[in-house]
Every structure is written in structure tokens, then in C-alpha cells.
Amino acid sequence: MAVNESEVYRQIGSALTGASMHSVGVLAMTVEASLTAFRTFNAPSGITASLVDARGLDLPSGALQAMQDWPLQDDSVFAIAERRQLLDAAFRPREVLDEMLYGQLRLYRPIEPFVEIADAFAITFPLLDSRWYMALFVRCGRQRPFSPADLDLLERMKPAMANLIRPAFAHDLRMLTHGSDPQSLGAAPHGNRLDAAGMLLRLTRTERRIYELLRTTATERQIAQNLHRSPHTIHVHVKSIYRKLNVRSRRELQEHPA
């Protein structure tokens, strides 16, 4: 799978990514989680939406890259938390669903083809306005389930994590809307930059995923295969994206400020 260099560059410069890797990584080592992931809900395009870290597992080449879209998928454990509006909580995913429903859902695809999920614990908290954050800690393979002491520690560390993540998210949001010049953060933003960011906020979560793929060389059919949707559904989303961003072609969309 080809590396998306623009996404790598964005994550390197993201305070949110750094704060997440630090706080989630420290807690993962403490409770011996072999896989972690985070997702920022309702984040505008240009903010790191999600990241999966499975370096603690012995995975085939390319598997980790293939997992990166997992937190954004409509049938993931993250989507269940969103549908149930678990915006400020600490929970085991299997405990918020009845056993039969939990067994039927593919909450951990595409991780399950590579490794068995032994246990998972999620932390969620609000960021700014309607935006919120979820971090997931997973034990895999033959690891034992988290102990009550592990879960108590993760829950007690939630305020400290929130105190680190919220300012980082606010920083990235200011940089997105005011430009990259630190001196401009206290000044009025340039109109075009703010207008572009405002338009992107109008896109739904699915439309933002499609928007990012439209800015590559992927065809609509390839996007449909990537997102497990029909080409017709993708085309309907593309027309909606064009309308919301006030563009008339793929070329205009690719020139649109990200």
C-alpha cells in the first residue's frame, strides 16, 4: 500500500497526534495493551481524525497501514460509541452491547483477520463544541483480559489525558483556521482560509473521507471499493461534496484549500 506523504506530513506537524501518541502510549505500556487507537469525532478536514498503533503485535508487512482507516469505518467499535452517544465515558465495548449483538458485529475489522481480540477498554471525553475524542486500549491474542485494577487506572487517568488532548486539539484547530504563522493566531484570519475551513465543516464524516480520497488520483470506483460502498452511493456523495464546497469539477476540488 502506497504511503500518503501529505498525511504523514500533517501528522508530524499535529499537536493532537503528538499528545495522543504520548498519553495513549504511556497508558498502553502501563496496562500492557498491544494495540491502541484514537479517533477525533466531528473534526474538520485538516485535523488528524484517527490513528492506529499496533507496533506491539507481530503483523504481516503492510497490515498496520491497512488498519489506519478502521476507526472511521461505519461498523467499527468507534461507530458504535458514536451511535450510542457515549461522549464522556469509560467502558468495555462488550458491556455496552448485549452478548448476541456483540458477537454479530464486526467491531474490530480489519484487525480480526490478523489477531484475536482478548479485551478492550475505551475512554471518551468532549473536546470543543460538538467535537469529542475516543481512545481505545486493546489486548490481543493470548493476553489476559484487563484486570479491575487496570480499568480503574485507565478511568482515573482520563482527566489527565483530557487535559493534554484538549489544548492540542485547540492548537491544531487555530492553526487550521488562522494559518501556520504563529503571529497570526491572535489576529483576524485571512478570509479565504477561514471560508475554506468553514465549508469543510459542512461535510459529514463520510463525505470528509471521500473528499480526502477525491484529492488523490483514486477513481470513484476505487473509492467505492476502498469504503465498501456502491459506485452509485459514492457518486451521490461526490455531488453533495461539490455542492457544499461550491466546486464544479474534480480539478476545482483538488485546488480547494485543504
Q: What is the pLDDT of residues 127-139, one digit of tens each?
A: 988 899 999 999 9
How far is residue 51 CA from its own chain's centroid? 6
pLDDT single digits (tens) 85-125: 999 999 999 888 876 676 667 788 888 888 899 999 999 99
Closest CA to 133 of 227, 66, 47, 32: 47
Flag whether pLDDT at 153 surpasses 50.
yes
pLDDT value at residue 67 = 87
Residue environment code for 225-255, b if the CB has 16+ CB neighbours within 10 A, otherwise e: eebebeeeebeebbebbbebbebeeeeebee
pLDDT over threshold 80, residue 197: no
pLDDT at position 192 is 43
Mean pLDDT of the region 59-73: 85
The whole-number average pLDDT for the span 164-170 is: 92
Residue 220 pLDDT > 70, yes or no?
Answer: yes
Better-scored residue on pLDDT, 179 or 83: 83
**133 vs 207: which has the higher pLDDT:** 133
Higher pLDDT, 191 or 122: 122
**pLDDT beyond 70 at 16:** yes
| pLDDT at res. 257 | 66
* pTM value surpassing 0.75: no
User: CA 85, CA 108: separation in Å to the nearest integer?
Assistant: 19
| For residues 232-251, average pLDDT | 88
Give me the pLDDT at residue 88, please.
93
- pLDDT at residue 204 greater than cutoff 90: no
**Average pLDDT score over residue span 190-208:** 63
Determine if residue 60 is left, alpha or beta; phi over 0 gives left, psi from -120 to 50 gives alpha, anything else beta. Answer: beta
What domains are defined for the chain? 5-174 (3.30.450.40), 202-255 (1.10.10.10)
Quickly count: other Cβ atoms within 10 Å of residue 111's Cβ: 25
| All cell numbers assigned to 167 | 489544548
pLDDT at residue 193 in the model: 40
Q: Is residue 191 pLDDT above 50, yes or no?
A: no
More confident residue, 55 or 4: 55
Mean pLDDT over each residue of the chain, to the nearest integer: 83
Low-confidence winner among 25-29, 46-50, 91-95 (lowest mean pLDDT): 46-50
Residue 228 has pLDDT above 60, yes or no: yes
Q: In whole angstroms, what is the distance from residue 105 CA to residue 117 CA?
A: 13
Instruction: Evaluate if residue 31 carries a pLDDT over 80.
Output: yes
Name which residue leads in pLDDT, 182 or 30. Answer: 30
Does residue 187 have a pLDDT over 50? Answer: no
* 3-state secondary structure at position 145: coil
Looking at residue 199, its pLDDT comes to 67
3-state secondary structure of 93: helix
